[in-house]
Amino acid sequence: MNIKPLFFTFPPESIPHGYVLINANSWRRQLNYIRSHRDVIEMIIIDSGIEIFRDRNTRDYPGGYKAQVYRLVRIYNVVRSIVPKAFILATCPDYPDDYWPKQCWVSEDVTNVERTLESIRFALERFPKIPWLIPIQGHHRDPLSIKMAIHDLVDDGLLENRDYVAVANLCTENTASVIYDTLRIARDLLPSHWIHAFGINLRTLNRVKDLIDSFDSTAWTRPVSTKILNANWSAKNEYERLFFFLAWYFRYLEIIGGE
C-alpha cells in the first residue's frame, strides 16, 4: 500500500508491520519482533533514547552524547545483521526542551538546540557511513526556533547528502496550531527532504499529513475513541494491545485516506 505519511511504531508481537520504531533503551527486548517479522519490515527508525529526559533531573545521556552515538552505532549494526534488506535510520542523539523547559540548557547561549547540533556534528564526522536521521530540535512551544535550528544545520553543512530529518520538539505537544506552525516552517525550509515528525497525535495528523513523510506514535496503547472502540482505559493485556492497535491503525488509515 503506497500511503503517506508512513506510521512507525512498535506493534503487538502478532502484528506484522513494515515500519518499526526501536527504542534505544530497550532494543534488546525488541529483537524477537524484528526476527519474527524480518520478511515484512521495510524500514526501521532507531530512536536516540531521548525518553530518559522525562526525569527532570537528567541533563545528559550516560557518558554524554559521544557515548550514546557509539551505542546507537552498535544497535544499528546488530539490527542490520537481522534485517539486511530493510532501510534503517539511526537518530543522532538530541536534547529536548519539551519534557521540562530549559532542562538541557547549559546557558542562554548554549541551549538544547546548540547541544543537539554538537551531537549531530560528532555523529556525522565520526560515522559518516551510518544513515543518520538528523533531529531538528527547538525550544518549548516556539515554532520559530525550528527555523533557527534548520539554518544552523544548513550553514554548518550538516544536511549535505543527508535526506532524512526529524522534527523532534513536538513529542509532548498537544496544541494543533503549534504543531502545524512548526511543521509548516520545516517543510517550507526543507521542501525536498524526507521529514519525520516524532510523537504526532491522531487529532493533529489530518491537519499536518501533507507536510510530513512519516511520523511515529505509541499512543495506541492508551485510551482511544473510534468507530470500533470507545475505551477510557489503557491496554492491560496482549488481547487489548492487539485490539487497541487495530482500532488506532484503522483510524490512521481513515485520516490519511488509505483503504
Domains with residue ranges and CATH for the chain: 6-217 (3.20.20.105), 218-259 (no CATH)
Question: How high is the pLDDT of residue 222?
Answer: 73
pLDDT digits (tens, 9 = 90+) for 42-76: 999 999 999 999 999 999 999 999 999 999 999 99
* Residue 26 in grid coordinates: 530497550
- DSSP-assigned letters across all residues of 193-238: SEEEEET--HHHHHHHTTT-SEEE--GGGS--B-SS-B-SS---SH
Please give the average per-residue pLDDT across 104-123, as a whole number: 98
Is residue 132 within 8 A of residue 124, CB to CB? The reply is yes
Question: What's this model's pTM, rounded to 2 decimal places?
Answer: 0.94
pLDDT digits (tens, 9 = 90+) for 8-18: 999 999 999 99
pLDDT digits (tens, 9 = 90+) for 144-188: 999 999 999 999 999 999 999 999 999 999 999 999 999 999 999
pLDDT digits (tens, 9 = 90+) for 196-225: 999 998 989 999 999 999 999 988 887 655
Greater model confidence, 2 or 108: 108
Q: Does 245 have pLDDT greater than 80?
A: yes
> Quick one: which of 40, 38, 120 has its CA closest to 80?
38
Question: How high is the pLDDT of residue 219?
Answer: 85
Q: How confident is the model at residue 243 (pLDDT cuts 50, 70, 90)?
A: confident
Dist. CA 45–CA 48, nearest whole Å: 9
Question: How high is the pLDDT of residue 151?
Answer: 97
Question: How high is the pLDDT of residue 35?
Answer: 98
Dist. CA 185–CA 162, nearest whole Å: 19
Please give the average per-residue pLDDT across 126-133, as a whole number: 98
